């Protein structure tokens, strides 16, 4: 009966070593350094499997209607572009510092089902920068964004801008902008309603030292209507 005792001692040593490592502070949690390969595999495999399983319960409405993507483009532009980028737009400053990075949704759209895109958009992914939009948006507001994401593989920069221009007044972000009593000259303006927009970079790259010097600027109110996109 020696073997069970050896296994028991080994398990205790392993537990002590793991707990010791957790409290030691040796693991680097900074977003500026990459995950080690094993942790990366573990988290991304678990996330993928979780998304596939949970999305099975999602009922997908008809998404073929052109008007649905049109209804989603303003919301996509103000809610998603900052981190994920959009056709013709790199991710903004907030997206450039994310780890794990926010993937190009044109690529994701090609290999995820509409149910999976919806589930992730609604529920987010814990311990990453991906927010749960369902906390603030009901399903009817999320499906148009999913319809737009599904179109991304076919949209180039010009196609995206054209859709934004056609979509003036569509989507709840555009509505909110319109509600405050001033007319919008363009969809671009509507989509950049300062209340809803992510903090925008000023279109130039900051290096680390500059960013510290400039940081008060990030909190200034920008007049988004003067920005060219
Ligand atoms: C604050 C940054 C941020 C914003 C804003 C954001 N995302 Fe994400 N998103 C992420 C990150 C980071 C990931 C990657 C998470 C991971 O690696 O598991 C992600 C992952 C995703 C994925 C999974 C993609 C894949 O290939 O696995 C989808 C779908 C998605 N986001 C949709 C959206 C939509 C739609 C919006 C706008 C409504 C949005 N995201 C807004 C940060 C963001």
| Residue 95 sits in the same domain as residue 156 | yes
Q: Which residue has the least CA distance to atom 31 on ligand 1? A: 130
| Residue 93 sits in the same domain as residue 149 | yes
User: Does 69 or 194 have the greater pLDDT score?
Assistant: 69
Residue from 54, 96, 102, 107 whose mutation best tests the ligand 1 pocket (most atoms within 8 A of CB): 102
80 Cα: distance to centroid of ligand 1 (angstroms): 7
- Residue 121 Cβ < 6 Å to ligand 1: yes
Q: How many CB atoms lie within 10 A of CB 89?
A: 16
| Residue 99 sits in the same domain as residue 194 | no
| Residue 177 sits in the same domain as residue 78 | no
| Residue 97 sits in the same domain as residue 120 | yes
CATH number reported for the structural domain that contains residue 67 in this entry: 1.10.760.10
147 Cα: distance to centroid of ligand 1 (angstroms): 15
What is the arithmetic mean of pLDDT over 177-183? 37
Residue 43 to residues 24, 27, 121: CA-CA distances in angstroms?
22, 16, 18
Beta strands (DSSP E) in the chain are none
Structurally, the chain folds into a number of domains equal to: 2
| Residue 177 sits in the same domain as residue 164 | no
The span from the CA of 229 to the CA of 164, in Å, is 11
Range from 91-95, 99-103, 210-214 carrying the lowest mean pLDDT: 210-214
| Residue 55 sits in the same domain as residue 149 | yes
> What is the structure's pLDDT at 221?
41
| Residue 183 sits in the same domain as residue 73 | no
Q: Which residue has the least CA distance to atom 26 on ligand 1? A: 108
Q: How many CB atoms lie within 10 A of CB 218?
A: 15
36 is a domain residue = no
- What sign results for the dihedral spanned by CA atoms 170, 171, 175, 178? negative
**In terms of residue numbers, what domain contains 79?**
51-172
pTM (predicted TM-score): 0.77
| Residue 57 sits in the same domain as residue 168 | yes
Element (H, E) at 174: helix 171-179
98 Cα: distance to centroid of ligand 1 (angstroms): 11
pLDDT at 207 over 90: no
Q: Which residue has the least CA distance to atom 40 on ligand 1? A: 80
């Amino acid at each position: 009966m020696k073997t069970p005792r050896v296994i028991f001692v080994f398990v205790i040593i392993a537990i002590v070593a793991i707990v010791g490592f957790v409290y030691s502070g040796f693991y680097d949690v900074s977003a500026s350094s990459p995950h080690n390969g094993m942790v990366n595999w573990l988290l991304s495999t678990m996330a993928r499997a979780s998304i596939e399983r949970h999305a099975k319960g999602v009922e997908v409405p008809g998404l073929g209607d052109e008007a649905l993507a049109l209804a989603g483009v303003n919301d996509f532009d103000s809610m998603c572009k900052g981190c994920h980028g959009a056709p013709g737009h790199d991710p903004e400053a907030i997206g450039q510092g994310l780890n794990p990075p926010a993937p190009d949704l044109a690529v994701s759209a090609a290999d995820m089902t509409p149910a999976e895109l919806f589930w992730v958009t609604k529920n987010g992914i814990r311990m990453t920068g991906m927010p749960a939009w369902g906390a603030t948006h009901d399903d009817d507001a999320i499906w148009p964004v999913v319809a737009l994401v599904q179109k991304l593989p076919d949209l180039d920069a010009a196609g995206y801008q054209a859709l934004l221009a056609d979509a003036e007044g569509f989507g709840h972000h555009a509505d909110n902008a319109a509600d405050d009593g001033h007319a919008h000259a363009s969809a671009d303006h509507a989509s950049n309603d300062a209340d809803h927009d992510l903090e925008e970079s000023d279109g130039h790259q900051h290096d680390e030292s500059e960013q510290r010097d400039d940081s008060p600027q990030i909190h200034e109110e920008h007049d988004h209507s003067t920005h060219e996109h």
